[in-house]
């Protein structure tokens, strides 16, 4: 039988616990997001985020989730190929999972779930129809930029994830399906610089171009491709593994993120074009960056007047391929989103897809920084209090 003093202690323990949780909740990520621990020498802090969970995004209005489909034509002459390039919004389509609680399985229209960027096989009108989208945000100045995607396996397309300010300040990860062999692939790591402009917009003739072999075919599974950009260097990664550092001609202006998938038949680059419709599929985009926008900078100073390491959230490294296929697909594709975890995206624009997805995300990620991790502590305190 419990004593009155024990019950009083229990009430006191509960009040102390809830007050502590309130303080912790108020401190979640207020001072931003970090690559590596704040105690590490390679620590980098970013104030803003943009996260998209395309496995669960069901929309035709992509601007509403932070991305603007592009619509324009480039003549064959200007595209430097036998065909022109044509980008139309209709070539960007959402294909989410049918089950909003799952992270793998059947999609609405069949095939791999995710955002589809199509290159069309009919180019009888002299243009190859492809897809491109740009982030609504144009204020990204340094950051960590990540995409999980499966490339097209049809020979003759180029798929790219990149940041862009202008033709002499651009950071690219580009994939040419013609470079995939039976077991391996390649990613082209590129900085477009004033030197590449002088070379006729051909970065391959500069030091800021690396052809990086990959130990897998990018068209067979989803992998995370990432670049971290600081004033000193641009570092490239795949599934959390470091590939290359570029330390010269580092961009210094703010700009937008882009995704595209295209072909113009140029045998020196995209090759092709493909004879049938083919898609690049994106399962997520995650970006953590500093903003050049004065209003966003003011917002940050309001919620974080002085940087406090206890109010900085470390960005999890994706160290395995976030692939939804296979026996463990529901686990490997289930990656962490701050914006799906209540309270971890203070004063950020977030694109929660459904409550089901959010609940599923929280079930899978009761991490050490989450309130759920403190439940055992609460139980222990309550048991101690009522036993005294």
Residue-level pLDDT at 27 = 54
Residues 232 and 357 in one domain: yes
H or E segment to which residue 164 belongs: strand 158-166
Determine the average pLDDT of the residues in 67-87: 96
Q: What is the pLDDT of residues 127-157, one digit of tens each?
A: 999 999 999 999 999 999 999 999 999 999 9
Residues 102 and 199 in one domain: yes
Higher per-residue pLDDT: 73 or 373:
73
CA dihedral 340, 346, 351, 354 (to 10 degrees): 40
Confirm whether 255 is domain-assigned: yes
Confirm whether 214 is domain-assigned: yes
**Domains contained in the chain, number:** 2
Residues 102 and 14 in one domain: no
Least confidently predicted of 83-92, 197-206, 215-224, 337-346: 197-206
Determine the average pLDDT of the residues in 61-74: 97
Confirm whether 148 is domain-assigned: yes
Sign of the alpha-carbon torsion through 26, 27, 29, 31: positive
Do the strands 127-135 and 84-87 form a parallel or antiparallel pair, or are they unpaired?
Answer: parallel
Confirm whether 342 is domain-assigned: no
Determine the average pLDDT of the residues in 333-362: 86
Residues 104 and 249 in one domain: yes
For the entire predicted model, the pTM comes to 0.86
Residues 9 and 144 in one domain: no
Confirm whether 252 is domain-assigned: yes
pLDDT band at residue 200 under the 50/70/90 scheme: confident
Confirm whether 264 is domain-assigned: yes
Residues 18 and 46 in one domain: no
* Averaged pLDDT score across all residues of the chain: 87
Residues 95 and 195 in one domain: yes
Question: Domain of 145?
Answer: 42-295+318-335+352-362
Residues 236 and 382 in one domain: no
Residue-level pLDDT at 365 = 56
Which domain CATH number covers 102? Answer: 2.60.120.200
Confirm whether 80 is domain-assigned: yes
CA 275 remoteness from chain centre: 30
Residues 96 and 233 in one domain: yes
Residue whose structure tokens are 């798929």: 159
Determine the average pLDDT of the residues in 14-19: 41
Residues 226 and 121 in one domain: yes
- How large a percentage of the chain has pLDDT more than 70? 86
Beta-bridge partners for 162: 172, 258
Residues 382 and 322 in one domain: no
Confirm whether 213 is domain-assigned: yes
pLDDT band at residue 282 under the 50/70/90 scheme: very high
Other C-beta atoms lying within 10 Å of the C-beta of residue 217: 18
- Give residues with Cβ within 8 angstroms of 119, minimum separation 6: 91, 128, 129, 130, 131, 152, 154, 157, 261, 262, 263, 273, 274, 277, 278, 279, 280
Residues 93 and 18 in one domain: no
Residue-level pLDDT at 379 = 34
pLDDT band at residue 331 under the 50/70/90 scheme: very high
């Amino acid at each position: 039988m419990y004593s009155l003093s024990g019950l009083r202690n229990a009430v006191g323990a509960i009040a102390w616990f809830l007050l502590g949780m309130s303080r912790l909740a108020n401190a979640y990520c207020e001072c931003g997001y970090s690559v590596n621990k704040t105690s590490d020498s390679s620590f980098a802090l970013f104030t803003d985020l943009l996260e998209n969970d395309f496995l669960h995004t069901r929309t035709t209005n992509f601007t509403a989730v932070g991305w603007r489909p592009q619509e324009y034509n480039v003549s064959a002459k200007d595209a430097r190929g036998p065909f022109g390039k044509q980008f139309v919004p209709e070539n960007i389509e959402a294909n989410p999972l049918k089950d909003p609680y799952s992270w793998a399985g059947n999609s609405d229209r069949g095939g791999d779930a995710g955002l589809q960027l199509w290159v069309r096989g009919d180019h009888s009108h002299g243009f190859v129809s492809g897809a491109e989208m740009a982030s609504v945000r144009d204020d990204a100045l340094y950051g960590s930029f990540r995409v999980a995607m499966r490339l097209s396996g049809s020979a003759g397309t180029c798929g790219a994830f990149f940041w862009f300010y202008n033709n002499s300040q651009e950071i690219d990860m580009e994939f040419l399906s013609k470079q995939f062999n039976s077991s391996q692939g390649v990613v082209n790591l590129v900085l477009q610089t004033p030197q590449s402009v002088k070379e006729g917009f051909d970065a391959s003739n500069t030091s800021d171009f690396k052809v990086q072999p990959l130990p897998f075919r990018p068209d067979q599974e989803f992998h995370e491709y990432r670049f971290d950009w600081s004033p000193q260097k641009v570092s490239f990664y795949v599934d959390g593994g470091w590939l290359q550092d570029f330390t010269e001609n580092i961009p210094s202006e703010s700009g937008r993120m882009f995704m595209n998938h295209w072909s113009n038949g140029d045998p020196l680059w995209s090759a092709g074009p493909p004879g049938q419709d083919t898609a690049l599929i994106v399962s997520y985009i995650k970006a953590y960056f500093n903003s050049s926008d004065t209003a966003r900078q003011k917002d940050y100073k309001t919620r974080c007047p002085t940087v406090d390491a206890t109010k900085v959230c470390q960005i999890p490294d994706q160290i395995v391929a976030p692939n939804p296929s296979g026996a463990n697909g529901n686990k490997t594709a289930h990656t962490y989103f701050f914006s799906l975890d209540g309270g971890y995206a203070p004063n950020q624009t977030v694109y929660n897809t459904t409550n089901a997805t959010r609940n599923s995300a929280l079930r899978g990620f009761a991490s050490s920084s989450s309130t759920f991790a403190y439940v055992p502590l609460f139980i222990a305190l309550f048991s101690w209090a009522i036993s005294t």
